[in-house]
Structures are given as C-alpha cells and as structure tokens.
Amino acid sequence: MFESRRVRLIGLMTIAVLLLGAGVAAAQEEDLNIRYAFPLSLGAEYQMLTPFGAYAGGYNVFEAGLSVRVPIPGAPTFQPVARLGIIQFTGTEADTETGPGTESWSHTHYYGGLGLVWANRIDKTFELALELIGGLSEAVFPDLVPEAGSVGNLNLFAELGGRISLDPSYSLSIDIHPSIKYIQSVGVLQDFNGPIFGIGFGVNYRFGEDPDAPGQIIRSIRFSDIVFPDAFAAMQSYYASNPIGSVVIENTDKNPIADLQVSFEQKGFMEAPTRCASIEELGPDESITVDLLASYNANVFTTEGTTPLVGEIIATYTSQGKPAEQRSSVSYVLRDKTNMTWTDDAKVAAFITYEDSALRNYASWVRQACKEDTIDALSGSLQTAIQIYEALGELGCLYQSDPSKPAFEEVQGNPIIIDSVSLPRDTLARTTGDCDDLTVLYCSLLESVGIDTGFITVPGHIYAAFNTGVAARDYRKVHPDRGMTLPIDGELWVPVEITLIGEQGFMNAWRRGIDEWLAQDNNPEGRELYLTAVAQETYWPVGLQQTDLGLQYGSTDAISEAFRRQLSRLTSLVVADYRERAESSGRRQDYNRLGIAYSTFEQFDAAAGAFGEALRIDPGYDSARVNLANLRFLEGDFRRALTDYENVYRRLETAGETDSPLAAKVLLNVSRAQYELERYDEARESYAQAEQIDAAVVADFAFLGTITDTAGRAAEQSGPEILFVDED
C-alpha cells in the first residue's frame, strides 16, 4: 500500500512539472513546430497503472495500446489522436473457501478512444505535450461466473495525460507518459469505477521528410549587393528606425516564396534580432532591396576606437509550404560614441548630454554663485545663459582647434570624413575644444537646468542658441534691437558665438552670433537652426557612465563680477533705448516708461528723476505720481508710500474716476502697503474694492484678500512685488 501511494505521488509530481513546462513552452516561438511538422505518427506504448481507490483485493494493472496522431495542417501543435488498446486487471489472491478471490475478478478492458494532443517542441530533440482522450471499453471477466463463461461489461473512460518526448531523430520519438484515467461502468458491475494513475513509456514512428536532411534543406534565396558602412555608437537610436545598410534578396527558386521575414542580428550588442522587413510573397527570379535596421543596446557605448564586428542577416520564409531559414554574415566596423560623419548636421544633438549629473552639478553651482545679482524682471533663461558663459571663461575654457581632427569646414556635409565630437564632460574637464565641442558643451549645460537650446550651422561653422522664454512681441524685454533676436514659434531665441568664450564677454558673443546669422541673408539655404529637442527625437543622447569630474569650479567672486558686468551692458542698452525715445519726443508717457525701465533694473535714483520729469511736463499726471510712490515702497518707506497712494485716490474721487483701471491699480497698491504695515483688515478691504473694478488686474495679488494675521503671512503667493502704472 505504501509503495502504491509513493508511485501515485511521484506520478502526480511528474504531471505537475509537465504542466508547468508546457505552460512555459507555450510562450516560446513555434517555428520548430512548423519546421519539424509531420503528416502522420504511429505509436505503441506500455503503462503500469495504479488505482487511487481499493478494490477489496490486490491487482496488477497494466495497459498496452496503439495510437495514431495526425497534426492539423497550419497548426501542427494540435494533433487529433485515435487509440486502441487493452487494460489488464490480474488478481493476486487465489480462491478461498469462503468465496472467489481476486483471481476470479481478473478481467481485460478492450478500449477505443478519440482525443486531442497539444504538443510543443522546445528544441529540436525535446517536446512537451498534453492530451485529452475519451472513449468506450468492454471489460471481459473470463472466470467470474465459471458456469456461464466470459461475462462482459460496458464502460466509459476518459484520460488526461502528458508526454515528455525525446526525439533522437525526425522519425523517432520516445515518450514518458504520465496520465490519469477515469473508468465509469454503464452496466451492472460497478466495482472498478474510479480514477487510475498510470506512468509508462511509448515509441512513435513519424512519417515525412526530415527538413535537416541534406537533400531537404531549402535554399531558395540568394543574398547579394550587401552594403554595410561603418556604424557609429552615437547613432544608436537612429539605426533603430533608419537604415544602417542594405541587402538585395533574390528568389532563385522556380516557385514563389511566402512570408519572407528579414532581420539583422549582432550578438553581444542586441537583445534580439532587429526585424527589418516583412514581404508577403517574392516571385520566382524576383529580387528586392531590403534596408537593414539595428536596435543596438547600451553596450555599443562601452567600445573605444574602432571595433570590428561580424553580424548576421537572417531571412526566414516558406517555400512550397515548408519553413526555411537562411543567414548571411556581414563584417563591418563599430566606431565609438565620439565619432560621426556630418551627413546630417542634426546628428550633433546626440552629443548634447543634458542628463549628465556632472554637468547639472556645475550649472547649478554657477547659478548659486550669481543668485544675489539676478534681476527678477529680466528673462531668467537669458541671465542663466550669461552666467554659464562667463563661468566657463573663468574656468579657463577656450576655443582651440584640434590639429589631429579635420576642420569643421572640411567635414560638414562630407559623408566620408569621420569627425570626432568630444563629450561635454570631457570638454569641461579639458577646458578646450573646437566649435562643435564647445557648442554641445554650452547647450548641454543650459539644457541641464531646463533651458531649451539649439545649434546653428552656417558654411564651415556651428555655434549655439537658446530660448529666452520671452514672447516675440516683448522683444524690448530682451534687447531694444528686434534684430538681435530670432523669433522661433512665438518666442525669442538668442544666438551665441561660443568660440569667443574666455576671450570676449557674452554680449560680444551674442552680437557675433547674430552677425553670422545675418551674413547669410542672401543665402538662407546656407544657414539652419536646429532645435535640440526636435533633433533628439531622432538622435538620442549617447549613453555614458556618470562620474564626478572633480572640477575646481573657479572663483565665485570673479564669476559674479563678470555676470554683473555683462548684465550692466545689457540693461544699459535697454534703458538707453527708452531714454532716447523720451528725450526725442518730450512726452510725459515716454519719461514715465523710462522711469519704469530704471525701476526694473533697480536704478531708483534715475527712475525718480524720470518720473519727476514726467510730472514737470504735466503736474496732473497721476500715473507718474503712483510710480513715485512705488519707489518709496521698494525702498521700504511703506507709510510714505501709503500716504502718496491715498492722495492719488482722493484725486480720482474728486474727478469721479473711482471705477477707472487706474483706480483699481491704486487701490491694489494701497492694499499692498497696508499689508506691509500689518493692517490686514484694511488690506483685505482695499483689495476687495480693486477686485470689483478689475479682477484680472489683481489676480496676481490674491493673498491680499485672504490674509488674517501675522501668522498667516506665510500664505503669501509669489508674484510682482508692486504694480507700476504705464497708461495715459
């Protein structure tokens, strides 16, 4: 009894492993099932059976059978099966005085059944299968009623089993066959109903032709005219959807081939072969040129210099209903991530590695060094661009052409000459580079802090550009000369001749950049501005190992001083434009705007003079009076500012203009001064009055309408500190 239970337990474990293996096999590609499909299989097997229940006596039970399997064409994993066989129950106890023993109950089932097998070939010599069979059996008892002769009983049976098959050759298969049967009598003898476990062995002979036999290997195509130039690691993303090479595939057979699939594989540098083409049918003597693609993994970035490789072009197809596969090797050179050819100027975007932590750390350090000198009213992107440019100069970064590299004017547009573009981290550590090296370094640093960049190419040269984030209509907020900026998608971009770094300041580099752009006005096809974000949709940044560069970043005082110097030049240009217009026109409005410009750049004494001149021209000009009060507010004299605001509001009351846009702005500034003086109830009241007149104007100061006490000041929202008035 113990031995019987152990056999059943081992058998159940075998079935569980078989089912698990079959489930895993189901996820495999089924090419082998098609390749080694057969039209017919004849099999014979023998099984030892063990009932799960007791039959009031001991029996030796075995089964022998013959089977026929016919795979379904087009779906050879599904195989209808027919089986004939016997199940023999032989009693082990002799007759006794009290009645017949189990020997008298010995009997034989003659059965026949139909079913379905699901078989999956794991590899050429190994299969897993599941089967389900149902049928009828006739149990014959020769000794149960001696005086009556043999007694028969009709039964139903069902079987669930599995097969673990070893295929030493195409025609021969050897099975281990665990199964569970269930027998149910439909006659009067119900003694042998129930489940029975079995495990045994089988041998199958399969008809058909071995596809691996020398005479059966299909060679219907020919590879020719393989074109595969050097590959560049920097173009990793490009090759995934754009040709790296090409091959001509010709059908040399007299019959068409179908379902032609072409792939390219490079072991060690791909996770799987890259699918290149799918052709439904290729006729006799017909040929087709296939572009080869390559989905390289990150391992391509670990190579240095030139690495000889041998890849494979793989073609799978069906010829006269039979699957076939052919391969052709291709030798080529993989160049490392610093190499490229300038067949497309946009390729340089692959070297703008803005996610490099070393670059991000350096750019953040520079911004911290200059944060006390920034001007809130000026474009933050523009100021950061100035800071990074001047910091690179302080670091000692210089333009220097590499004598071992071809000049840019030689490589631009030349598909043969191989150029080398330094990674930004290497240029930053070396502190020298040519025009392409410095351009990708500057763009990478700006991109690392969230500033959109681009690069400009003109004949023989490349340099950087960046987005100020300022709307094109507001060009005066960037530079008084509209021609000093490039409007792109409604925003202003600034070109920077980065090769002047370390020799001339940012403002000169800006001027040189725009001059080089304008020099091509008569030849607009000769210049191009590539947006980094757009170019990197095709040319992703190269992969790199991020490590700290161990840089000495330079003097914060020197960087800050250089930034202030360039900022002063820029603000002087902006203010000079307003001053020239005011002096030329003599209008109160232009002097008022000049005062606002001075205030923007925190030149308060000059601003007071401009507002005073506007009042001298028109003593009743309330806009200038409000702005003078604003200067007192910015200097911290909140009481004097509040008095001046209230005086203007009383003038508006006298004139009956308390519903005017100017009144809304005055009330808002009144509220702002009351807030600073901690008169919160009055501040809320003044804010509410302003909101009733013009809700849009007061939207940026919403905190004034909710403040309740000193503790609540933490709820203050970001926004303009005070509202200057520019209106007639």
Task: Supply 287's token pair.
Answer: 């040929």
Note the pLDDT of residue 53.
79
Note the pLDDT of residue 22.
47
**Fold (CATH) for 2-206:** Porin (2.40.160)
Q: What percentage of the chain has pLDDT greater than the value 70?
A: 90
> For 311-328, how does the pLDDT look when each residue is reduced to its tens digit (9 = 90+)?
999 999 998 878 889 999
Q: What is the CATH number of domain 620-715?
A: 1.25.40.10
**What band does 216 get if pLDDT is binned at 50, 70 and 90?**
low
Note the pLDDT of residue 92.
81
Note the pLDDT of residue 403.
60
pLDDT at 70 over 60: yes
pLDDT at 292 over 80: yes
Q: Are 627 and 611 in contact (CB under 8 A)?
A: yes
pLDDT at 284 over 50: yes
Q: What percentage of the chain has pLDDT greater than the value 90?
A: 67
Q: Among 2-6, 49-53, 112-116, 352-356, which stretch is predicted with the lowest mean pLDDT?
A: 2-6
Bigger pLDDT: 67 vs 714: 67
Query: Which candidate, 488, 486, 511, 497, places its Cα nearest to that of 442?
Result: 497
Inter-CA distances, 674 with 205, 483, 697, 704, Å? 100, 44, 18, 10
**What band does 96 get if pLDDT is binned at 50, 70 and 90?**
low
Task: Supply 552's token pair.
Answer: 């000495």
Note the pLDDT of residue 91.
87
Q: Among 89-98, 108-117, 233-242, 515-524, which stretch is predicted with the lowest mean pLDDT?
A: 89-98
Query: Which candidate, 171, 198, 145, places its Cα nearest to that of 4?
Result: 198
Mapped to the 3 state alphabet, what secondary structure does 526-589 carry? HCEEEEHHHHCCCCCCCCCCCCCCCCCCCCHHHHHHHHHHHHHHHHHHHHHHHHHHHHHHCCHH
Bigger pLDDT: 546 vs 63: 63
Instruction: Output the CA angle 276-282-284, nearest 5 degrees.
Output: 145
Note the pLDDT of residue 411.
57
Q: Are 453 and 463 in contact (CB under 8 A)?
A: no
Note the pLDDT of residue 124.
87
Note the pLDDT of residue 277.
95
> For 456-473, how does the pLDDT look when each residue is reduced to its tens digit (9 = 90+)?
999 989 999 999 999 999
Average pLDDT on 368-384 reads 92
Q: Sheet of 274-282: strands edge to edge?
A: 231-232, 322-335, 306-319, 257-265, 274-282
Structural domain spans, the chain: 2-206, 221-337, 343-554, 620-715
Q: Are 515 and 213 in contact (CB under 8 A)?
A: no
The torsion angle over the Cα atoms of residues 121, 126, 130 and 132, rounded to 10 degrees, is 100
Average pLDDT on 117-122 reads 93
Note the pLDDT of residue 1.
45
pLDDT at 439 over 90: yes
Q: Are 634 and 642 in contact (CB under 8 A)?
A: no
Note the pLDDT of residue 2.
41
Q: Are 152 and 189 in contact (CB under 8 A)?
A: no
> For 16-49, how does the pLDDT look when each residue is reduced to its tens digit (9 = 90+)?
544 444 444 444 444 688 878 899 999 999 999 9
Q: What is the CATH number of domain 221-337?
A: 2.60.40.10
> For 161-212, how does the pLDDT look when each residue is reduced to its tens digit (9 = 90+)?
999 999 999 999 999 999 999 999 998 888 889 999 999 999 999 998 887 7
Task: Give the Cα separation of 228 and 219 in Å (integer).
Answer: 23
pTM greater than 0.85 (yes/no): no
